[in-house]
Amino acid sequence: MLKQALAQNGLIAILRGLRPQEAAAIGEVLYAAGFRVIEVPLNSPEPYDSIRILRSTLPADCLIGAGTVLTPEQVEQVKAAGGQVIVMPHSDAKVLRAAKAAGLYLSPGVATPTEAFAALAEGADVLKMFPAEQMGPAVVKAWLAVLPAGTILAPVGGITPDNMQVFIDAGVKGFGLGSGLFKPGMTPEDVAVNAKAYVAAWNALR
């Protein structure tokens, strides 16, 4: 279902710093704009509460996940909160295996082809290329030439509506969007404006 969601809209909302009391309103504006994958990093305030609220608020075709997942224990806590996607900044095999054993979708962070192949061997669904600013579209193109056909690379870090084109031209089929979409203190109206700009750019480029 993760790949289907990204085929519909390849933009992943990363809501670092989201608070539970604003989760429902921000989730609703993101869904209305077209987002179908929303991630709450675990270094946010009370992240499991936000995950629980987003899952109970939004329709079933919107996947809710956790980011900055670092341990197998956190995988279990995400699942208990209703989370469906595990996003990691790294590729720790223990965490990958825990996520697959729990039946969750998995997007580990990779920064080299070696890490990418190892993550795919552990069952990764989507590879998070992080940090995208450091790697760039030339790296995307080189990786996709050797990775298995159909591999989804999602650059994360510094992605704006204006710089998506070069990555899409290189073969990217998804992006993780952080502070350009949401920062702590933004109102739902602020997030709606940013979300619409990203979705408009994505639709125009795709």
Mean pLDDT, the chain cut into blocks of 10 residues (206 residues total): 90 98 98 98 98 98 98 98 97 96 97 95 95 89 95 94 94 95 97 98 92
* Rounded distance between C-alpha atoms, residue 143 and residue 170, angstroms: 10
Residue 127 · residue 107 · CB < 8 Å:
yes
Residue 30 · residue 38 · CB < 8 Å:
yes
Q: How many domains is the chain partitioned into structurally?
A: 1
Active site residue 3: no
* Rounded distance between C-alpha atoms, residue 192 and residue 81, angstroms: 25
111's CB contacts (< 8 A; 6+ apart) are: 129, 130, 131, 134, 135
Q: What is the pLDDT of residue 101?
A: 97
Active site residue 94: no
Residue of 22, 39, 79, 173 with catalytic role: 39
Q: Could you tell me the residue range of the domain that residue 54 belongs to? A: 1-205
Residue of 22, 79, 128, 173 with catalytic role: 128
CATH number at residue 30: 3.20.20.70
- Nearest 10 degrees: Cα torsion 5, 153, 130, 95: 70
